[in-house]
Amino acid sequence: MTWVGTAIPRKEDGRLISGRGSYLDDLSRAGLLHCAVLRSPHAHARIVSVDTRAAEALPGVLAVLTGAEAARVSGPIRPLIPTPVPIRDYCLAVDRARFAGEPVVAVAAVDRATAEDAVERIAVEYEPLDAAVDPEAAIRPGAPLLYPELATNVLWHDTFTYGDVDGAFAKADGVLSERFEIQRYASTPLETFGVIAEHDPGTDAYTFWTNDQRPGLTLAILAESLHVPQSRLRLVVPDVGGAFGNKRRPAYLLIAALLARKARRPVKWLEDRLESLAALMHAANGVMDLELAYRADGTVLALRARDITDEGKNLVSPTQHNLIKLGNIANGYRIGAIQYEAYSVLTNKCPSGANRGIGKPFMCFAVERAMTLLARRLGLDSAEVRLRNYVRAEEMPYTTPPGARYDSGDYPATLRKALARFDYDGWRAEQRRAHAEGRLLGLGIATSVEPAGTNLASYELITGRRAASGSAEAAMVRVEPDGTVRAAIGDPGSGQGYETVIAQIVADELGVTPGDVSVERGFDSTTTPWLYLSGNYSNKFSVTDVGAVLGAARKVREKLLRIAAHRLEAAVEDLELSHGQARVRGAPDKALALRELARTAYADVLGLPGGEEPGLEARHAHQNPLAEPVGPGRRVRSQLVFSNAAHVCLVEVHPRTGFVKILKHVVVHDCGRELNPAIVEGMVHGSTVHGMGAALLEEFRYDARGQLLTATFMDYLKPTTLDVPDIEVDHLEHPSPFTPLGAKGVGEGGAIPGPAAVANAVEDALAHLGVVVRSLPITPERVWRWLPRRADG
Amino acid sequence: MTVTVRLTVNGRVIDRAVSARRSLADFLREDLGLTGTHVGCEHGVCGACTVLVDGRTTRSCLMLAAQCDAASVTTIEGLTPSDGLSALQTAFRECGALQCGFCTPGMIVTAHELLAENPTPTREEIREALSGNLCMCTGYVNIVTAVQRAAEAPSDK
């Protein structure tokens, strides 16, 4: 029996379905205090004075922390990517607030309501400053500066040229130039971000229970800012109610820790929804000027992009969107020459950061919109222009000009399968019939690559020096003294079914069932193996996590076999692990149960082979071999293995209201070997709906002064059951030769091409009106403005 | 200011003095330890906190505990058999109708109400009934399928 590859139901579901999950807010501690945060009402303001006396006097208030105090008692937050001039950014704003919603003062009180009462009693005098809101305006001389010491809002600007771009443009039959924009949006996990922090004054040690999804990095930041060695920190991640990249904001862990230390009691802080939407994490908005040089037959010779990324007040991971766009700029096409000019720009908005696909949805949107426009210009079908440009299966592995390596897959076959599954030709005919009746149907195609695993060495392109690099994860597998199996991994997960898939992998290696394997929920830094690189990010499960689990399981497997061989007086090569036993192949009566082998390993240790260490536990860290330092010509494999997907979307646009209805959406996807097909399918559905939300509904809209206008779920609209169709999914399976089980990434595949597919479909419905979709979301109001005015409407 | 309430929660009579401003969600979670009811938005949009009050789905974040005097409240804990899972829960598990699980209790409570009123809903009717419950993970497809399967399960008829 092989468990990997089967669609077994998830192990974690029993508790989650019955209300027995254990999410952060379900946890408590004796003497727990609750934190509330006073936030800047201004996008940009000098903090003149802070008076907390009335708050401190309120009964039930145990501690108040101002930015000035935070700067005295803690260190600045270490950035993932250093800024050109070091900026000391603390957990609270000190003398200047730089976005509406930035934390300014924090309070710990006996309950949340009292803490919020206290926040209302804090008097802060602000001197409002002009805000930099639009990223292009923020670049210009004279723009309001977030950090006058930088003398600019541009954190980084560079141009990368691969191949003879100018030559390709000079000899092209034509050039397509367009400007595309992406809005701010986020995947908005339903559980908000939070922490419980506890300080033990006796040992000056801290414990954090948090739904932070990147504990390795966070622990480093906490140690530095709290001025304690990492050996005195413990970080525990319980069940996580979705994360999608958003749940990384160490400032709040620091706030809670400083309050806990001050109040000498544990402190819980949990965002409310307004705080989460206004201040946690937005996918960066931005503007991209894209040019394609093409031959008359539709072959794309070169691509040139000028990309301006609006980071908001992002000092933790600026340039991340740019770098990932660079790694994905070819989007599966054989484009020989590429130029990418990038700006990473600070503005007075919520910090941008990781959100399902980071930068790739916009890169894909721009390229896939351009390919569709090229098809229209040349009178080709949208599918045809793509088929003429794809990297072909026989070219795999294929290295793109900037250095990304497409490891496996058949992109033309993926699209063809999607078209067939969709009945593309049939719907084209139906579209013509419908148009004759005045119905506006549109078909959209978008395809994409979906990388997995980040090679952090790629940030050398930005900083000029190597800091963190590669891609790796650590895991542990242990056969307990009673023969049952336990596993743990440094990636806490956030709803992707890791407990199940890890159990499947371990079960195959040890000859047991997934039911026999208990996988640790979440993460505990004192028991879970972990690295700085550990965490739930970058689609990395298939690239590193699987290897870590497999490596640990194989070490235990080999040890079990050695002990069994000794006990059975057989050769290791003649043994197999199956049905919970080690047994001699072909002689099933010569067998020892795992329980018996475990008894030897832990208790009857004189029964071990000579030199064998007691115990049955192994740790393994897997480093993906594809990650390499930056190479000549500034080429780098910034991400490691590539899945791919083709989306075909059918929409109907209401000719009076402008309302867009998605009628049908087919995804054909190739993520290599599917470790659990049911989990894969669910991720494709959910990811695709994230793309649909970005396409039609979701936008963090700021006014000209930097005030967020969409800070509740009544203004910031998420897709409901009525906004999206039953997404149809089919698969190809080209295993990656570069991952331990041939699996590739799957979490982002829908979110990357989803927005482009829907946009292409809407434009297709309105093409006869000369409409070009250049930005998202495509709200009814925008569509209505494109529609011809009627006398009665 | 405190208010004394007497209500039934999952079949058990509760007498408590509660702060007048305490929401039903906080009362259930913090005073009664019923943490299966989740709080996702606190402004009545996401549906994660959905419970049954006198048999009707209610946003427990928008209702005060003080309003629940003499009411009968049922939470996900009350819809879970003491041993095993309900047909609806089993269908959610078999159909892959959850990922992070945070919305799931609210979904189950809402679907429970639907199936009580309409034992054989169409997919469209299921989508209509669940339209007030946000799920950020699944894209809804498998949730709709799970409710449909539960409706078809012999034990529910």
- Whether B17 and B47 share a structural domain: yes
Q: Taking residues A556-583, what's their average pLDDT?
A: 97
SS3 content of chain B, % helix, strand, coil (to 5): 40, 20, 45
- Any bridge partners for residue A105, and if so which? A38, A66
Supply the pLDDT for residue B155.
56
- Whether B68 and B100 share a structural domain: no
- Whether B75 and B8 share a structural domain: yes
- Whether B71 and B114 share a structural domain: no
Q: Taking residues A110-138, what's their average pLDDT?
A: 98
Instruction: Yes or no: say if A586 and A580 are a contact pair by the CB < 8 Å rule.
Output: no
* A661 neighbourhood in chain B, CB within 8 Å: none
Q: Is-same-fold flag (A363-453+640-786; A472-623)?
A: yes
Supply the pLDDT for residue A81.
75
* A730 neighbourhood in chain B, CB within 8 Å: none
Task: Report whether pLDDT(A791) > 60.
Answer: no
Note whether A721 contacts B80, CB cutoff 8 Å: no
Q: Which of A316, A445, A462, A336 is nearest to A381 (CA)?
A: A445
Q: Taking residues A253-262, what's their average pLDDT?
A: 98
Confidence band of A790 (pLDDT split at 50, 70, 90): low
Q: Which of B103, B149, B98 is nearest to B123 (CA)?
A: B149
- Whether B39 and B11 share a structural domain: yes
* A724 neighbourhood in chain B, CB within 8 Å: 139-140
Domain end position, chosen among B58, B79, B100: B79
Interface subset of A 165-184, CB within 8 angstroms of B: none
- Whether B152 and B91 share a structural domain: yes
**What amino acid is encoded at A451 in this protein?**
P
Domain boundaries, chain A: 13-129+190-243+247-279, 363-453+640-786, 472-623
How do residues A741-771 score in pLDDT, each as one tens digit?
A: 999 999 998 999 999 999 999 999 999 999 9
Supply the pLDDT for residue A55.
98
Closest approach of B6 to chain A, Cα-based (Å): 23
Closest approach of A576 to chain B, Cα-based (Å): 32
Report how many domains make up chain B: 2
Task: Report whether pLDDT(A622) > 60.
Answer: yes
Between the alpha carbon of residue A340 and those of residues A374, A661, A694, A756, B31, the distances in Å are 20, 35, 24, 20, 57
B140: domain CATH number is 1.10.150.120
How do residues A633-652 score in pLDDT, each as one tens digit?
A: 999 999 999 999 999 999 99
Confidence band of A465 (pLDDT split at 50, 70, 90): confident
B69: domain CATH number is 3.10.20.30
Supply the pLDDT for residue B156.
43
- The whole-chain average pLDDT of chain B stands at 96
Interface subset of A 17-36, CB within 8 angstroms of B: 17-23, 25-26
Q: What is the dotted CATH code of the domain comprising A13-129+190-243+247-279?
A: 3.90.1170.50
Supply the pLDDT for residue A792.
54
Q: How far apart are CA A347 and CA A344, in angstroms?
A: 10
Please name the member of B41, B102, B140 whose beta carbon is closest to the beta carbon of A241.
Answer: B102
Supply the pLDDT for residue A85.
77
* Chain B residue with the nearest C-alpha to that of A16: B101
Percent of chain A scored above 90 by pLDDT? Answer: 96
Q: Which of A156, A175, A158, A157 is nearest to A337 (CA)?
A: A175
Please name the member of A240, A712, A722 whose beta carbon is closest to the beta carbon of B100.
Answer: A240
At the second CATH level, the architecture of A472-623 is 2-Layer Sandwich (3.30)
Q: Taking residues A387-412, what's their average pLDDT?
A: 97
- Any bridge partners for residue A645, and if so which? A448, A669
Interface subset of A 480-499, CB within 8 angstroms of B: 494-497
Q: How far apart are CA A661 and CA A722, in angstroms?
A: 9
- Whether B6 and B69 share a structural domain: yes
Q: How far apart are CA A43 and CA A130, in angstroms?
A: 8
Q: A17-21, A419-423, A462-466, A692-696: which has the minimum mean pLDDT?
A: A462-466
Instruction: Yes or no: say if A269 and A195 are a contact pair by the CB < 8 Å rule.
Output: yes
Closest approach of A110 to chain B, Cα-based (Å): 13
Please name the member of A22, A187, A685 whose beta carbon is closest to the beta carbon of B142.
Answer: A685
CATH 3.40.50.720 holds for A363-453+640-786: no
Between the alpha carbon of residue A244 and those of residues A214, A633, B40, the distances in Å are 11, 33, 16
Supply the pLDDT for residue A588.
82
Note whether B141 contacts A685, CB cutoff 8 Å: yes
- Whether B93 and B150 share a structural domain: yes
Q: What is the pTM of this model?
A: 0.97
* A722 neighbourhood in chain B, CB within 8 Å: 127-128, 131
Task: Report whether pLDDT(B157) > 50.
Answer: no
Q: How far apart are CA A141 and CA A138, in angstroms?
A: 8
Note whether B137 contacts A273, CB cutoff 8 Å: no
Percent of chain A scored above 70 by pLDDT? Answer: 99
Q: How far apart are CA B121 and CA A642, in angstroms?
A: 41
How do residues A171-219 score in pLDDT, each as one tens digit?
A: 999 999 999 999 999 999 999 999 999 999 999 999 999 999 999 999 9
B72-74/B2-9 β-pairing = parallel
Between the alpha carbon of residue B138 and those of residues A10, A381, A730, the distances in Å are 14, 32, 16
* B130 neighbourhood in chain A, CB within 8 Å: 721
Q: Which residues, at least 6 apart from A237, have a Cβ–Cβ distance to it below 8 Å?
A: A209, A210, A211, A212, A213, A215, A492, A522, A523, A524
Note whether A9 contacts B93, CB cutoff 8 Å: yes
How do residues A84-123 score in pLDDT, each as one tens digit?
A: 778 999 999 999 999 999 999 999 999 999 999 999 999 9
Q: Which of B138, B139, B137, B140 is nearest to B126 (CA)?
A: B140
* A714 neighbourhood in chain B, CB within 8 Å: 43, 45
Q: Which helix (H) or strand (E) holds A578?
A: strand A575-578
Sheet holding B12-19: strands in order across? B12-19, B2-9, B72-74, B50-53, B56-59
The length of chain A is 793
Q: Taking residues A420-434, what's their average pLDDT?
A: 98
- Whether B56 and B114 share a structural domain: no
Domain end position, chosen among B37, B54, B79: B79
Please name the member of A25, A687, A721 whose beta carbon is closest to the beta carbon of B131.
Answer: A721
- State which residues form the domain around B68: 2-79
Closest approach of B70 to chain A, Cα-based (Å): 24
DSSP letter, residue A283? B
How do residues A344-381 score in pLDDT, each as one tens digit?
A: 999 999 999 999 999 999 999 999 999 999 999 999 99
Please name the member of A22, A682, A726 whose beta carbon is closest to the beta carbon of B96.
Answer: A682
Supply the pLDDT for residue A793.
47
* A115 neighbourhood in chain B, CB within 8 Å: none
- Whether B114 and B98 share a structural domain: yes
Supply the pLDDT for residue A455.
92
Instruction: Yes or no: say if A608 and A407 are a contact pair by the CB < 8 Å rule.
Output: no
| Phi and psi angles of residue A319, each rounded to the nearest 5 degrees, phi first | 75, -5
* A683 neighbourhood in chain B, CB within 8 Å: 99
Note whether B96 contacts A273, CB cutoff 8 Å: no
Q: Taking residues A706-715, what's their average pLDDT?
A: 98
A581-584/A575-578 β-pairing = antiparallel
- Whether B95 and B36 share a structural domain: no
Q: Taking residues A428-445, what's their average pLDDT?
A: 97
Please name the member of B21, B139, B144 whose beta carbon is closest to the beta carbon of A686.
Answer: B139
- Whether B107 and B135 share a structural domain: yes
- The whole-chain average pLDDT of chain A stands at 96
